[in-house]
Amino acid sequence: MTINKLRIIEFLLIGLIVNSLDNIIAIKYAAGAELNWDVLVRVFLFVVPFAVLSELVVDHPNFWKKVMRFLKIEVKQIEKKLE
Please report which confidence band the pLDDT of residue 47 belongs to, taking 50, 70 and 90 as the band edges.
confident
- Beta carbons of 13 and 59 less than 8 angstroms apart: no
Average pLDDT taken over every residue of the chain: 77
Please report which confidence band the pLDDT of residue 37 belongs to, taking 50, 70 and 90 as the band edges.
very high
Q: Compute CA distances 16 → 6, 9, 28, whole Å.
A: 15, 10, 18
> How far apart are the C-alpha atoms of 44 and 47, rounded to whole Å?
5
Domains of the chain, residue spans: 3-82
> How far apart are the C-alpha atoms of 78 and 6, rounded to whole Å?
30
- Beta carbons of 8 and 39 less than 8 angstroms apart: no
Quickly list H helices, 1-83: 3-10, 19-26, 37-51, 63-70, 75-82
pLDDT exceeds 80 at position 19? yes
pLDDT exceeds 70 at position 9? yes
